[in-house]
Structure 1
Amino acid sequence: MVLEADVGIVAYANDAQGFAATLKHRYSDFRVNEIRQEGGVVRLVNTTVPKAAEAREVPLCSAQELIQKLESATGNPASPDILDFLERVKNGSVPPSERIHLGPFQDKAQRTAVHGIFKAWPTLATETGAEGSIELGLGGGKGIKRRRSEWAGGDARYVKFTMYKENMESQAALSLLGSKLHVSAKVFGIAGTKDKRGCTCQEVTAFRVDPGRLATAAKQLRGISVGDFSFTDEELHLGQLGGNRFELILRGLPPDAEEDVKAACTALAASGFINYFGLQRFGSGPIPTHAIGRALLAGQWDRAVASILGRAGPDVLPTSLQEVKSALRGTPGFAVAETAVLQALLKHGATNYLTAVQAIPRNLRTMYIHAYQSYLWNSVASFRLRQSRSALLVGDLVAQSKTGAGGPDGSQEFVGSTDQVPLHSENEVEFTEPGANAKEAAAPANMAVHIISAEDLDTRSYSMSDLLLPLPGSSVRLPENATGEEYARLLAEDGLSLETSAHGTAGFTLAGQTGAYRLVLGSPGDVEWELLRHSAQDTDLAEGQGVEPGGALLALRLAFSLAPSSYATMVVRELTKQSGAALHAALPRAGPPV
């Protein structure tokens, strides 16, 4: 298990007394509501399905307007028979078997335009006939069979909806919906993934899936509800969110700790928290992801393969094709990196480790290197704050253009280039292929940063809330003081350098990474807290159940908002001064887990 100290998480932003607490005793103790990019907390409000069938009966333009569009698209006057046909369609006097022949049109673009024009009348349908002609008639029933079912969105390509889920990951929920709908989970788009153990609410888009079908599918699934349907031409992509609103219940507080808790909450609101990359960043496997990234950057291909496969070291790797086959048979299909490595070893030789790591999907390879960058960032942040938590130092980095608490969109991370893979957190996004759906919150490439001078300290032009540290790469600057030297020292310990590479293999060097800037101190927004007395440990305090003014047990309800790329667990760590392991320690239960 990865410990916080192993990944540089050792400092605190304030000296308030901590207290024992347990997070996620019930999954309902952890509630997350997405914040839209344009603002506003996402909550499931309306489960009514739009009545699209009635809307489809109304033509979107008159018969004469439709004729004008047809003539404009084809460059030829329309036959009077077409106008007569359309007028009879409006009067309901056209039999289902009647057809009007248009064309022929030898140009495919023309045929496509003609098909599109007649979609303005939902009761009509078209199909391509012989030699480029187009047949026009009534759609459905005994008329022309439509190539795809009509749907409520009209010309819009996507339905947008709110999804509420309990105790499951976002991708698992979408896979279940897709299975019920008999569609691939790839039709869904989301702005960010949400925790498994919790109650979460987020927006989703789906490509041409009727709201009615979505609502029916969700009713057949436990722990998923959908609603707030609308239609849009824009698909949601990872990173397109303004952050998340968290509502947490911390249980198991010492019964006599009320004053300590009040002081800690007040200190958190004043000082913020150290914007560390949380333990989720470094994986849950036997070998942390930053250790794999370190091996890749050092060109230790055998060690990287061993770590990916969960082996203690290169000396216990399979050495024959038979051993590779055996390992592959025992690898589950969802283990993407492990499967890719073993298949490559089977195909290219049991000891061809470089080819094996190159076979891993690019987004996963990048994830390992970003994890190592995150380890460096955490370690250097702790070093910098040991020098001073209250004042900037000459040589520190800040954003040249002050934008308040975060990036241009309020995020806690300034990305050096739009090609940078989104940086994962419980409050943000999964890793995704660079450039593919990577519309993450990004500042312009080579963002201008300012080096703090003695004059800046005298004029107090900047404060600690502006302090930045880079994730090392080719497009970022290092601090020009001892903090910058700490990067070089840590890299040298691992046999690495920002400028050179011992192996020169493309894709596995820090110089090949763009880099990013990240605020050192995070600031939770709209902090609310309330001490709760209760008597039974397992009651749903989030719903107000079991709260008793004279109860022997003490809990804390804590609510706050975070911008993308910040970790709620780091907020709770700052508040309680407890490690992740301590926060997730089990409390006694009266019954089965809830």
Structure 2
Amino acid sequence: MERNTLSCFISDHEGFHGTIKNSPQDFVVIEIDINGQLVNSPNVQEGHTKRPSQPSQAIKRDDKLKQSKPDDTEVLNQDCFDLNVILGPVVNKELEHFTNKVRVRAGEQEKVELSLGTYPDKHQRAVVHRAVRYNFPFLQTVTNQSEIRVREDPDFKELASLASEGEAEEFFRFIDAKVPGSAFTFLPDDSKEHRTSVHHFVSRRFGKLVETKSFTDQQKTFITVRLRERNKQPKKRTIAECQEEVTLYTTFTLRKENLETLEAISYMAAVLGVLPSDFTYAGIKDKRAITYQAMVVKKISPERLLDKVSEFERKGMQISHVRPVSEPLKLGRLQGNHFDLVIRDLKPHGKTQLAELQHLVKEAVENVKNRGFVNYYGPQRFGSGSCVQADQEASVKLFFTPEDGNDLQNKAKRHFLLTGNAKESLALMPAYKARERLMLRALHRYGSGQEGCIRGWLSLPHSMRVFYLHSYCSRVWNEAAKYRLQTLGFKPVQGDLVWAGSEKGLKDTTEELNTPQVHVVTSVQEKDDVFSLDQIILPMPGNSVKYPENLLGQWYQDRLAQDGLGSSRFRVTSLKLNVPGCYRPLLAKPQNITYSLQTSEKPQGQSDQTCVPSLSVTFDLDASCYATVCLGEIMKSNLS
């Protein structure tokens, strides 16, 4: 995040200097479930099987839209099939050589095959089949006893001749995923004869699974493909089958240290022989921290999960509270997070004496406790260089813009920007960086020109592509919040948007946000102080949101125009993206905040100062609020 983004505070205390995240032990995050219990508590209940009433800082405009569009955090839980982890580096390299051979021999009649080895466990076979087809949709996987072999898929070849390779890849991934209620739409096609050929192909090859239909929108004709609904009554099941279904899902609390969520899930999936998408969770947690969160894994019994405890521990993960449940855990099904933090090396700003530190800390904590803080998105919401670009080549360069540091992922990004060599960069990129690896594979396959970059973006699952657009919207929201406070002050003014419904409705995403509940402040209401600052909401840019009717509304138009989004229509047709938008409260407040100031001696020889103050602070935040932002308000510092 840019250093000046979080320069607007709402309290006037002095604050103090300090460092956070000196070690993972200094930043402990514990998820709070929908029943208000810490997920590592001995009394934690099976709360996610009930209807939630959790708080949320992002208010969706339309529940139906929300249900049809995956949450941006879902990007780390969907279709992250890293063949380097699943097959192993040696077999994966053989497979990549084989795919190159298939490309070179395109059009030849002779069939070539490759054996990926034997997989006695059926769950592991399922993972290999789907991961290979996801990464290489033009391949067909077959099982002979326990051996899995791959060869070119003639059906893919036929569809690619009717549409394009990029569309064929997306279509075959859609077919393979079999997500209930999902649909796939081909690019517009003005030729009726050609559309008929596509209809015939899909019906002949996948007619039992899907149905096709042509429709016209804005004088363009499209073909949409939908999964058929299952109308058959389920067959009667035995008692044993019913008992087995009870253990189909297993919930557990995951403790991880200095690990990304995706890395943890990828490792657990490989160990258990399931897909990364078989894991569900309520929210993403920091890497540079010790975090506790609830997870649910599909197709794994509690006994089988417990058998793998020692392998998980080798990777810095611990599991507890293991038990069977009846359904997966949905994103957003949490009340918030509890934080146990230590801020080290405290010292006053400016010339204030160290002896006054106790007073500075008390004043700062009490101010934030009572007044809250500006509800900025934290830096983990978006990486450096996040932006929206019509030029796909420029957007790919932004995607691979490295951050500070010399770890493998940043080395791989720098190598790609310097050389443009996707294959060499792929070899450097860590296995758990699924998004980057998918993009690099596509760029290696199709080249790094404009068309290749479009196919690179389309190689990512839809929810991953949406993530980057959401990241951009989050950055715009942060800038809008700063502009709103600096330009219009610290009380609601004419044209502001406020939440006029109940406080419960503000925090409950299950309550639909109707237009009358998003109210525009009038001049009379401004004069009479009808609303307070904590009722102001700012829109996350999108197609369906209302914008403020004052200087801030004009700011939104000008800011979006800078990136070619003057119409404020968040549709990127080439990447099949559409974002309706939502609303986010301007302010947030920590709950249950406590603190204690401590001193310890520095090792000899480091400094004349023998006592090093540190601050231990604990508090709870609603879901989607950021502890680093709260600490920034307390300390009057920009933290990352």
| Shorter-chain TM-score range | 0.5 to 0.7
Matched, 1:505 2:573: yes
Which of these two proteins has the greater Rg computed from alpha carbons? Answer: 1
Conserved 8 A contact 1:535-1:551: yes
CA contact (8 A) 1:160 1:206 kept: yes
In structure 2, the partner of 1:358 is 458
- Identify which of 242, 246, 263 aligns with 2:335: 242
The answer for the alignment partner of 1:194 in structure 2 is 285
Residue aligned with 2:308, SS = helix
Q: Structure 2: how far apart are the matches of 1:112 and 1:508?
A: 38
Quick one: distance in 1 between partners of 2:417 and 2:544? 39
Per-residue Cα deviation, 1:330-377 (whole angstroms, up to 9, x for no partner): 555544444444444454454223343333332222122112211211
**Number of equivalent positions:** 428
Indicate whether 1:39 and 2:26 are aligned. Answer: no
1:377 corresponds to: 477
Q: How does 1:313-328 map to 2 (within 5 A)?
A: 323=421, 325-328=423-426
Q: What letter corresponds to residue 525 of structure 2 in structure 1?
A: D
Q: Secondary structure at the match of 1:43?
A: coil
Q: Is the 8 A contact 2:266 2:432 kept in 1?
A: no
Matched, 1:475 2:575: no
Q: Provide the secondary structure at the position in 2 that maps to 1:21.
A: strand
- The answer to whether the Cα contact below 8 Å between 2:343 and 2:616 also exists between their aligned partners in 1 is yes
Query: Which whole-Å CA distance do the structure 2 matches of 1:203 and 1:463 have between them?
Result: 36
Normalization by structure 1: what TM-score?
Answer: 0.64
* Contact 1:177/1:218 (<8 A) preserved: no
After superposition, residues 156-195 of structure 1 pair within 5 angstroms as: 156-195=247-286
**Equivalent-residue separation in structure 1 for 2:378 and 2:17 (angstroms):** 19
Report the secondary structure of 2:503's partner residue. coil
One-letter identity of the residue aligned with 2:13: A
2:506 matched to 1:407?
yes
C-alpha distance in 2 between matches for 1:464 and 1:332: 45
Q: Is 1:15 aligned to 2:12, yes or no?
A: yes
Q: CA deviation at 1:178?
A: 4.1
Aligned to 1:466: 535
Task: Give yes or no for the alignment of 1:515 onto 2:581.
Answer: yes
Q: CA deviation at 1:396?
A: 0.5
Aligned to 1:454: 523
Look up the match of 1:579: 638
**SS across alignment from 2:337:** strand
Query: Contact between 1:306 and 1:317, CA under 8 Å: does it hold in 2?
Result: no
Alignment correspondent of 1:227:
320
Q: Which amino acid aligns with 2:482?
A: S
Task: Tell me which of 296, 300, 306 is aligned to 2:397.
Answer: 306
1:275, distance to aligned residue in structure 2 (A): 0.6
User: Does the 8 Å CA contact 1:41/1:245 hold for their aligned counterparts?
Assistant: yes
Helix, strand or coil at the partner of 2:624: coil
**Where do 5+ consecutive residues of structure 2 fail to align?**
45-231, 348-353, 403-412
TM-score scaled by length of structure 2: 0.60
1:248-267 to 2 correspondences below 5 Å: 248-254=341-347, 255-256=354-355, 257-267=357-367
Could you say which residue in structure 2 is the equivalent of 1:534?
A: 600
Q: Please give the alpha-carbon distance, in whole angstroms, between the structure 1 residues aligned to 2:467 and 2:592.
A: 32
- Distance change (3 Å), C-alpha of 1:119 and 1:400: same
Residues of 2 paired with 1:331 and 1:212: CA distance? 34
| CA displacement 1:114-136 (0-9 Å, x = unmatched) | x424657x8xxxxxxxxxxxxxx
CA contact (8 A) 2:247 2:301 kept: no
Q: Map Cα deviations across residues 512-571 of structure 1 (whole Å, 9 max, x no partner).
A: 420010001111111111212223589xxxxxxxxxxx9822111111111111111100
Distance 2:576 2:562 in 1: 18
CA distance in 1, matches of 2:20, 2:448: 45
Query: What is the Cα deviation at residue 157 of structure 1?
Result: 2.9
Aligned pair in 2 of structure 1 residues 366, 408: CA closer, same or farther (>3 Å)? Answer: same
**Kindly tell me: are residues 158 and 374 of structure 1, through their superposed partners in 2, closer, same or farther at Cα, counting changes over 3 Å?**
same
Instruction: Tell me, yes or no, if the aligned pair for 1:408 and 1:443 is still in contact at 8 Å.
Output: no
CA distance in 2, matches of 1:378, 1:360: 27
Match of 1:277 in 2: 377
Give matches, 1:555-570, under 5 Å: 555-570=614-629
Q: Check conservation: 1:187, 1:207, Cα contact below 8 A.
A: yes
Q: Percent identity?
A: 29
Task: State how far apart, in whole Å, the 2-side matches of 1:27 and 1:14 are.
Answer: 29
Code of the aligned partner of 1:214: L
Match of 2:75 in 1: none
Equivalent residues in 2 for 1:20-169, closer than 5 Å? 20-45=17-42, 112-113=235-236, 115-117=237-239, 155-169=246-260
Paired position in structure 2 for 1:288: 385
Q: Distance in 1 between matches of 2:565 and 2:12?
A: 35
Q: Which has the higher helix share?
A: 2
Three-state SS of the structure 2 residue aligned to 1:4 is coil
Q: Secondary structure at the match of 1:168?
A: coil
Rounded to whole Å, the distance in 1 between the matches of 2:542 and 2:17 is 39
Aligned to 2:56: none
Could you tell me which runs of 5 or more consecutive residues in structure 1 were left unpaired when the two chains were aligned. 48-108, 123-150, 415-440, 539-549, 582-594
Q: Residue 507 and residue 326 in structure 1: after superposition, are their counterparts in 2 closer, same or farther (change >3 A)?
A: closer
Q: Deviations over 1:88-114 (max 9, x none)?
A: xxxxxxxxxxxxxxxxxxxxx89941x
Shift of 1:224: 3.2
Name 2:104's counterpart in structure 1: none
User: Contact 1:318/1:350 (CA < 8 Å) preserved in 2?
Assistant: no
Determine the C-alpha separation between the residues in 2 that align with 1:482 and 1:273. Answer: 22
Q: Evaluate the alpha carbon distance shift between residue 324 and residue 203 of structure 1 in structure 2; reply closer, same or farther with a 3 A threshold.
A: closer
Partner secondary structure for residue 580 of structure 1: coil
Whether the 8 Å CA contact 1:165–1:225 is kept in 2: the answer is yes
Residue 396 of structure 1 corresponds to: 496
The structure with higher relative contact order (CA 8 Å, sep 6+) is 2
**Structure 1 counterpart of 2:298:** 207
Q: What is the Cα deviation at residue 309 of structure 1?
A: 3.5
Asked whether the equivalents of residues 194 and 200 of structure 1 are also in contact (C-alpha less than 8 Å), the reply is: yes
Distance 1:576 1:402, change over 3 A: same
1:117 and 1:27 map into 2 onto residues whose CA distance is 47
3-state SS, counterpart of residue 573 of structure 2:
coil
Report the AA paired with residue 346 of structure 2.
Answer: L
1-structure distance, mates of 2:41, 2:581: 37
Mapped contact 2:302–2:324 kept (Cα < 8 A): no
Check whether the contact 2:301–2:324 (CA below 8 A) recurs between aligned residues.
Answer: no
- The SS at the match of 1:226 is strand
Q: Deviations over 1:194-245 (max 9, x none)?
A: 2222222222222343333333422451543333333321211222111101
Structure-2 separation of matches of 1:385 and 1:21: 26
Change (3 A) 1:460 1:40: farther
- Greater than 6 Å deviation, 4+ residue runs: 315-319
* Distance in 1 between residues matched to 2:258 and 2:572, nearest whole Å: 44
C-alpha distance in structure 1 between counterparts of 2:494 and 2:540, whole Å: 20
Offset at residue 183 of structure 1 (A): 4.0
- Asked whether the equivalents of residues 248 and 300 of structure 2 are also in contact (C-alpha less than 8 Å), the reply is no
Deviations for 1:441-497, whole angstroms, at most 9, x for unmatched residues?
674476840001123234443211110000111111001111111111212333431
